[in-house]
Structure 1
């Protein structure tokens, strides 16, 4: 925990009479890492093709790890800490692009989606572990530099091990083939499948598919530059509407409260009635477990059983309902004296967990599926790059403003805003994926006719 350079007391105690100043300081520390990630994700889209998936991954791990090291020794030096957060964020953002790309290209076609979805599950698993590490450290250690540095240093252990192990790996067959390194590509594919091209016809067939996809992509893109594709998106009605749909998805996903709540979940549980900082931290860990479990259910079951659209709309509905209740609780029951209503407080705590369910089965994951399904090959890379940029820049904005929203809007106002975003998102994104072509083929307002929109909510 940060402290002023002249004192050994926690950061909040230095701002007791200046809640806005405390909100600004916390928001800057939390959000600057996300700001770095926004630029890192764009950098990854350039480097992953030039350096390869594996070397890009190693580079971003070095950036992220060096940022963590700088943070470890930046206690009481706020400017250095903010720089370290941005520097490490470059690596973190790049990893969110390169890691799923690497996994998708080494996985067999029939299990590619499952392998890539493991990435999100592992992220949430370590996020959950992080909540419990914070609890253990806060419960057993005094608030000082050692406590802060230990919490910062722990993530370097698994990442350092994986970095060293990465030198025993090879780049993906697809990237190697795209660089005309065909012999290496075949050797890597043979090793990945534990098979031999001479004895296994399926391996030869898979490699031919890889080459066909590379040729198809090259023919589709031709010599078109990034700027040329952007102009085509602006000029084509279908491309333009698809682009806008993806942008709206990222906007709703980030501004509906998901990451704002996750980043500040201990404070939110305190607002909901959890007493004691240790209890708030352990409850935050349980919140992480709930998100992990329902993300796994979505990834390995719900998305195929009830479909993406129904999962998304169900999730948005749960988010909206819980935001409405929390706005009522924060404005009416939390301020009651001498103490808040116990039943209302218990319901508020429960609603936070219900919100976690809605976020996990809806916008948390569906936003990524949209980006892979609504764009034709020619515009996919440009639209994906833009989507990732919006994802991180909006996440930065949300994380940056959430503490100030709590102060300036008296907490409940933030929930009113998030509920309105969910309501608008439900209406705008309620068009079924399989009816996208029908939607894009006509005027924009035809998306609201009863036949399409009614089907979207059935």
Structure 2
């Protein structure tokens, strides 16, 4: 890592950072491309002449056309709501690796149905819904496995491989749409079918690679398979069974699981759900996940990704090839930003500070676009000949607005996009990790579905200018929420999160890092009156 060495990395043996670990997190990390490929492809697909000729999209009023288009674009998000719940049912029963294999099968089958639709919109919707079940599972299965196998010093970096691969998928999809638009005739359905087949290829490759990946040791301990857990952890850490690092990690996981089981409301779904909402520490965790989804999804970034063609047209990119190429640049910006943030920021400057800076960049850039569109509405760009009708300072300001969209993409990658997956993967207790992540990702897809469905109608009712003003207001609200509620979790072990969330709710966000540093074990008030309990924790190195 050179100069960019995360805090705490020196505390791990060199062997921990090995090829087996990076291969395993790479296979689970690339799952993020499932969402990205669809978000990048679907907006371009419905704008291609070949697709419009095959499917009767542009029939009826402006509102009916917008509704029909949003039904197609949002169907994967609708399926993903069910997929996120399905991930909870499978993750804690068949494991993280088998869940990955199941989701790739659903993902591939869905898009086989899509590309064999031959003019049937109903089949397109059904295929995209089935694919959505698999895509929705990726957002739980991927980050959960990554957080569970990653060494704590680079947990943010490795978990955000998933967030980065979302925009690897977006970038790949944008270039596929642009390339096929330029090089394949718009009279043949291959122009939209070939880009869609990328889904099937990705799902197939990940399915085959998954057979080489060891199951999560934390999952195996939860299932009582302690010997196999020890063996898998040794594989991932490349250390012998009696090494202090292995021994310490196994003991920490077992101790946490024992403490959880002693204070649970039962092992059923209802018992875990009750535990999630009735215990204040868990309720705070759940609030962080829910609010990060609400504020992140309505900050405008998701809408810009899916409807990039429309927004670039509003800013002066009027030709089809010109719009698609502009989206390609947006894809490159988001992809590079996501991995820049994952590898050099999240574990180095911390989750909280990264989120602050990212939202601030997003706020300023989206506000600029809103001001530009208030002064130069989209209709001003098209003259009688169909070419751009603006010149001079307005044209230069338009170039600035396009650059602002790219900057907003960087801010999103650094802020909400990294945080929304990482926070779910690392803050929950082991027995609630799959349930908490599943419920929050359901909320993620409910919001994304609502966002995708609403944006075409919002643009008609509010105009482009009003939509960007709305997004700016959400970003400002997000900054205030982060300042008060979001704690710093960089460098913490997963097992030490309980101490942080045991603090009074008003201290967790602003002061939790200092009041409960990594390694401090929380006590109930009754325990504080029992000297033997404190002595036991001191011997374990948990209290200072």
- Flag whether TM exceeds 0.5 (same fold): yes
Q: Does 2:190 match 1:146?
A: yes
Q: Equivalent residue of 2:483, what SS?
A: coil
After TM superposition, list the pairs within 5 Å mapping 1:39-78 onto structure 2: 39-78=82-121
> Is 1:184 paired with 2:228?
yes
| 418, 424, 431: which one aligns with 2:471 | 418
Deviation by residue 1:122-154 (Cα, 9 ceiling, x = unmatched): 232122122111111110001221222211112
Question: 8 Å contact 1:249–1:429 — kept in the other structure?
Answer: no
Distance 1:331 1:12 in 2: 35
- Quote the residue 1:134 is aligned against: 177
Q: Where does 1:218-257 land on structure 2 (aligned, <5 Å)?
A: 218-221=261-264, 223=266, 225-228=268-271, 230-231=273-274, 240=283, 243-257=286-300
Distance 1:380 1:248 in 2: 17
Q: Distance in 1 between matches of 2:404 and 2:62?
A: 26
Quick one: distance in 2 between partners of 1:424 and 1:238? 24
C-alpha distance in 2, partners of 1:53/1:277? 42
Q: CA deviation at 1:175?
A: 2.2
CA–CA distance in structure 1, aligned partners of residues 84 and 343 of structure 2: 27
Measured against aligned partners, the alpha-carbon deviations of 1:384-419 in whole angstroms (never above 9, x if no partner) come to: 333211111101111111112112222222112212
Counterparts of 1:211 and 1:238, CA distance in 2: 20
Partners of 1:239 and 1:102 in 2: how far apart? 20
3-state SS of 2:380 partner: coil
Aligned residue for 2:475, secondary structure, equals helix
Cα drift, residue 69 of structure 1 = 0.5
Match of 1:359 in 2: 412
TM-score after normalising by structure 1: 0.86
Q: Say whether residues 1:197 and 2:241 are aligned partners.
A: yes
User: Which residue pairs with 1:456 in the alignment?
Assistant: none
**Pairing of 1:150-299 with structure 2 (within 5 A):** 150-197=194-241, 200-221=243-264, 223=266, 225-228=268-271, 230-231=273-274, 240=283, 243-299=286-342
Residue 396 (str. 1) matches residue 449 (str. 2): yes
Task: Please give the alpha-carbon distance, in whole angstroms, between the structure 1 residues aligned to 2:202 and 2:343.
Answer: 25
Gaps of 5+ in 2: 1-44, 384-388, 489-499, 512-544
**Range 239-248 or range 76-85, more displaced:** 239-248
Partner of 2:356: 313
Which range moves more in the overlay, 222-231 or 395-404?
222-231
1:378/1:187 Cα in 2 relative to 1: closer, same or farther (>3 Å)?
closer
Find 2:374's aligned residue among 315, 331, 339: 331
Which residue does the alignment assign to 2:482? 429
Counterpart CA distance in 1 for 2:47 and 2:503 is 57
CA distance in 2, matches of 1:10, 1:268: 23
Structure 1 residue 374, shift from structure 2 partner = 6.0
Cα deviation, residue 287, structure 1: 0.8
* Cα distance in 2 for residues equivalent to 1:383 and 1:355: 29
Is the 1:68–1:88 contact (alpha carbons within 8 Å) kept by the matching residues of 2? Answer: yes
| Matches of 1:75 and 1:351, distance apart in 2 | 39
Distance (Å, rounded) in 2 between the aligned partners of 1:3 and 1:297: 31
Bigger drift between 290-299 and 398-407 goes to 290-299
Mapped to 2, the partners of 1:165 and 1:394 lie a distance apart of 32
Residue-by-residue CA offset, 1:352-386 (whole Å, 9 max, x unaligned)? 11211221111111233444566667866554333
* CA displacement at 1:266 relative to structure 2: 1.9
Q: Which moved more, 1:340-349 or 1:302-311?
A: 302-311
Displacement, 1:2?
5.7
> Which of the residues 345, 348, 354 maps onto 2:401?
348
Gaps of 5+ in 1: 453-458
The answer as to whether partners of 1:290 and 1:356 remain within 8 angstroms in 2 is: yes
**1:222 Cα deviation (Å)?**
5.6
Helix, strand or coil at the partner of 1:303:
coil
Q: Distance in 1 between matches of 2:311 and 2:434?
A: 37
The question of 1:94 aligning with 2:162 is answered no
Q: Indicate the residue corresponding to 1:455 in structure 2.
A: none
1:226 CA displacement: 4.1
- Which SS does the other structure have where 2:224 is aligned? coil
TM-score normalised to the size of structure 2?
0.73
Q: 1:381 to 1:174 in 2, by over 3 A?
A: closer
Contact 1:45 1:385 in 2 (8 A): yes
The Cα offsets for residues 92-119 of structure 1, whole Å up to 9 and x where unpaired, read as 1112211222233333444333222222
Taking the aligned partners of 2:407 and 2:209, their CA distance within structure 1 comes to 39
Does the 8 Å CA contact 1:3/1:76 hold for their aligned counterparts? no
Deviates more, 1:104-113 or 1:386-395: 104-113
